[in-house]
Amino acid sequence: MDTGKKNIRHLTLSELEQYFEGLGEKKFRARQVYEWIWQRHAAGFEAMTNLSKDLRQLLEDNFTLPALRVDATQYSADGTIKSRFRTIDNHLVEGVLIPTDERKTACVSSQIGCSLSCKFCATGYMQRKRNLDYDEIYDEVVLINQQSERVYEKKLSNIVFMGMGEPLLNYRNVLKAIERITAPDGLGMSPRRITVSTAGVAKMIRQLGDDKVRFKLALSLHAANDVKRNEIMPINETNNIKALVEALNYFYKQTGNEITFEYILFKDFNDSRQDADELVKIYRQVPADLVNIIEYNPIEAALFSKPDDQAIDRFMQHLENNRVNARLRRSRGKDIDAACGQLANKDH
């Protein structure tokens, strides 16, 4: 659907200023438009009411403003809200609002589908259609924030890039989206309230360090030795645990930012005492703040199941005895397929 028109949100403020000056318009018009697209979240040019009708028409003729829109919404019994968003070229992508008493977290997607094929994740069974543009990622946050304000009368407090896709394989757009989300003339959120989760692309973790990013990083580990990790996460074959440990240490040296490990427990696969020992070993090699132990949420395509509560308790206790800062994360939104690993654009 290429109209030959440029997406107006892909212009910088100074490019917009040049455009308006070229029309013989006042420079401040650019600032007004910039405010409409990044702070007042106009879904189209007709909404920009402080511009003349002719000027709005001119923008309409020359630019696109391809805002995401909410296609479907599901409400979980536990308060979680899952949204299916539709892009201008008719792709679907999902995002989730996870509310607790102290925080309201948006879980956003970075790709339409995913190319990584992790065996336990519903998105991994979909093809990757394309990367999301930075303004589309920004829209996810805006739309989820509007839901949070409407339903909970609170703004978002946190953002996690843990939805569909591998953020570090859409590196430029993810960083640019975060730049806009944290910019004073964007959403003005603190980067310390943003966590980017990766399945482990060592080269790009180092790049984050070189780029001196200010957000937190989470590594989806899920198995603490290469044999098991290769089995469930094919990316490990080219980014093994040793390479990831080195990359995380480099990232920490460059930024000092918080690092978290994510570890989903699978029954009879990675929940034994030996698995816990191997996890302790990795934890000690990286200045990680926390290990999130995550309950597995079954999906139709995978054969894994969740360990029983005693096995989970034993695993957690072993970590605690070894002074690992671990937290059990009970999944939210399971009843609407909104929990960790379940996002797959099912027909509702």
- If one counts every other C-beta atom within 10 angstroms of the C-beta of residue 15, the result is 12
Catalytic residue, candidates 107, 114, 118, 340 = 340
User: Which of the four CATH numbers 2.60.40.10, 1.10.150.530, 1.10.340.70, 1.20.120.1200 does domain 6-64 have?
Assistant: 1.10.150.530
Q: What is the pLDDT of residue 338?
A: 62
Q: CB under 8 Å to 166, separation ≥6 — which residues?
A: 110, 111, 114, 115, 116, 198, 199, 201, 235
Model pTM score: 0.93
Q: What is the pLDDT of residue 344?
A: 61
**Cα Rg of the chain (Å, integer):** 21
Please give the sequence-ordered ranges of beta strands (E in DSSP) within 76-193, or none if there are none: 81-86, 92-99, 104-107, 111-112, 130-131, 158-161
User: Which of the four CATH numbers 3.40.50.620, 3.40.50.300, 3.20.20.70, 3.40.50.720 does domain 69-336 have?
Assistant: 3.20.20.70
Q: Are strands 92-99 and 130-131 parallel, antiparallel or unpaired?
A: unpaired
Domain boundaries, the chain: 6-64, 69-336
Please give the sequence-ordered ranges of beta strands (E in DSSP) within 201-344, or none if there are none: 216-220, 259-264, 290-294, 326-329
Check if 340 is active-site.
Answer: yes
Q: What is the pLDDT of residue 333?
A: 75
Q: What is the pLDDT of residue 118?
A: 87
The Cα angle at residue 281 between residues 217 and 118, in degrees rounded to 5 = 50
Distance, C-alpha 53 to centroid of its chain: 38
pLDDT (tens digit per residue) in 318-328 = 999 999 999 99
Cα–Cα distance for residue pair 230/238, rounded to 1 Å: 9
The Cα angle at residue 120 between residues 117 and 124, in degrees rounded to 5 = 30
Catalytic residue, candidates 94, 140, 166, 262 = 94
3-class SS at 251? helix
Helix axes 273-285, 241-255, angle to 10 degrees: 40
Cα–Cα distance for residue pair 125/122, rounded to 1 Å: 6
Cα–Cα distance for residue pair 308/286, rounded to 1 Å: 29
Q: What is the pLDDT of residue 348?
A: 42
| Contact status, residue 164 vs residue 92, Cβ threshold 8 Å | no
Average pLDDT per 10 consecutive residues for the chain, totaling 348 residues = 81 95 92 95 93 94 94 92 94 94 95 88 83 97 97 97 95 98 96 97 98 98 96 94 98 98 95 97 96 85 86 96 93 68 56
